[in-house]
């Protein structure tokens, strides 16, 4: 057990270094290439920090552990909004662009609502079982392609706003930092999650609870490290874009790919977690109009953290 805990810490350290390199490299690239930071946050950073979720889900699909695969995505999205954005806003209140409020956050909300609709076949279609089948998964991939097209148009139109004042490096060094950050995040996240699962099984935790907590938090640590680092450096666009983009990636891309590889049976117990994910995303949208407009204030961040703690207590009591 001591070796497992030690490797957990090693994985966390690798994640932190990887996040720092990714933020510096991608922010520098965005300025060199004239691409708004928000676009970088929504694509390069979001994809990079979602790689642990993708890795775990592909592995889970091949092993037939659907509860871990689905729980990983639902738990990650809840953790991303309530805890990561909560911590980031508690450190530095985050300004949110109007395009994020009007389009990206609602798209993240749509992703969670569609997940609820497509996985409840018994209720909506009077089917014999609930399953995320290949047709549902291809639909998710279709929405993901639409999202990428939207980001591309956002970049071309310049409606995402000007790139923030950020430190720039040479193009080769910026690219190397970004690539190295992605590699560190991937292997750090993989190491941490593997050891967390071993530790959880030692403690006798159920597969569903592992997916919603240990795996979800573990695979979201890159988002945590990246968004906190971005918040400290006052790169609000990357801090927000990373989380919103990751949540969209998680459902439309990661679950889409996973479901195409192997249709995923859906445990009805997870419905409450999906609903909590929907509520969390809606609260983020609502927060943009409560208090300072288009800003996640410090008190709202603290409230999000408290809500996440309450959710974890609920999960432990549910067992």
Q: Which domains does the chain show, CATH number per domain?
A: 2-318 (1.20.1420.30)
Residue 100 is predicted with a pLDDT of: 86
pLDDT(162) > 50: no
Q: Report how far residue 78's alpha carbon sits from residue 260's, in angstroms, rounded to the nearest whole number.
A: 24
Residue 163 is predicted with a pLDDT of: 45
The confidence band for 38, taking pLDDT boundaries of 50, 70 and 90, is: low
The confidence band for 160, taking pLDDT boundaries of 50, 70 and 90, is: low
Give the pair of three-digit tokens for residue 129.
């079982």
Return the C-alpha torsion angle 76, 10, 62, 246, nearest 10. 30
pLDDT(1) > 80: no
Least confident interval from 26-40, 101-115, 119-133, 253-267: 26-40
Please provide the average confidence, as pLDDT, over all residues in the chain: 87
Q: Count the Cβ atoms, other than its own, within 10 Å of residue 14.
A: 22
CB 212 within 8 Å of CB 69 = no
pLDDT digits (tens, 9 = 90+) for 85-123: 999 999 999 998 888 888 899 999 999 999 999 999 998
pLDDT digits (tens, 9 = 90+) for 279-299: 999 999 999 998 888 999 999
Q: Count the Cβ atoms, other than its own, within 10 Å of residue 175.
A: 16
Q: Counting runs of H as helices and runs of E as strands, what totals does the chain give?
A: 16, 4
Residue 203 is predicted with a pLDDT of: 79
pLDDT digits (tens, 9 = 90+) for 207-253: 788 889 888 988 888 888 888 988 898 888 778 888 998 899 999 99
Residue 17 is predicted with a pLDDT of: 84
**Residues present in the chain in total:** 319
Residue by residue, what is the 3-state secondary structure of 219-240? HHHHHHHHHHHHHHCCCHHHHH
Nearest to 61 by CA among 213, 253, 260: 260
Q: Report how far residue 30's alpha carbon sits from residue 39's, in angstroms, rounded to the nearest whole number.
A: 8
The confidence band for 31, taking pLDDT boundaries of 50, 70 and 90, is: confident
CB 122 within 8 Å of CB 273 = no
């Amino acid at each position: 057990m001591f070796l497992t805990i030690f490797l957990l810490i090693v994985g966390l350290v690798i994640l932190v270094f990887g996040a720092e390199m990714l933020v510096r490299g991608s922010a520098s690239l965005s300025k060199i290439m004239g691409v708004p930071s928000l676009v970088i946050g929504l694509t390069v950073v979001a994809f990079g920090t979602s790689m642990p979720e993708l890795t775990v889900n592909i592995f889970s699909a091949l092993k037939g552990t659907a509860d871990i695969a689905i729980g990983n995505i639902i738990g990650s999205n809840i953790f991303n909004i309530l805890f990561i954005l909560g911590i980031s806003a508690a450190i530095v209140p985050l300004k949110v662009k109007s395009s994020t409020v009007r389009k990206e956050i609602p798209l993240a909300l749509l992703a969670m609502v569609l997940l609820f609709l497509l996985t409840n076949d018994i209720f909506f279609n009077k089917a014999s079982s609930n399953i995320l089948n290949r047709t549902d998964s291809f639909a998710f991939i279709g929405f993901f392609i639409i999202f990428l097209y939207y980001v591309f148009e956002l970049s071309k139109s310049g409606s995402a706003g000007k790139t923030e004042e950020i430190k720039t490096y040479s193009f080769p060094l910026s690219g190397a930092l970004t690539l190295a950050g992605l590699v560190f995040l991937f292997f750090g996240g993989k190491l941490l999650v593997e050891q967390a699962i071993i530790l959880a099984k030692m403690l006798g935790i159920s597969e569903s609870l592992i997916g919603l907590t240990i795996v979800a938090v573990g695979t979201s640590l890159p988002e945590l490290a990246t968004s906190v680092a971005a918040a400290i450096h006052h790169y609000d666009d990357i801090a927000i874009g990373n989380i919103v983009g990751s949540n969209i990636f998680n459902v439309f891309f990661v679950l889409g790919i996973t479901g195409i590889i192997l249709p995923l049976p859906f445990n009805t117990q997870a419905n409450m977690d999906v609903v909590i994910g929907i509520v969390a995303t809606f609260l983020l949208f609502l927060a943009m109009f409560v208090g300072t407009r288009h800003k996640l204030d410090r008190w709202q961040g603290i409230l999000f953290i408290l809500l996440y703690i309450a959710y974890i207590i609920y999960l432990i009591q549910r067992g």
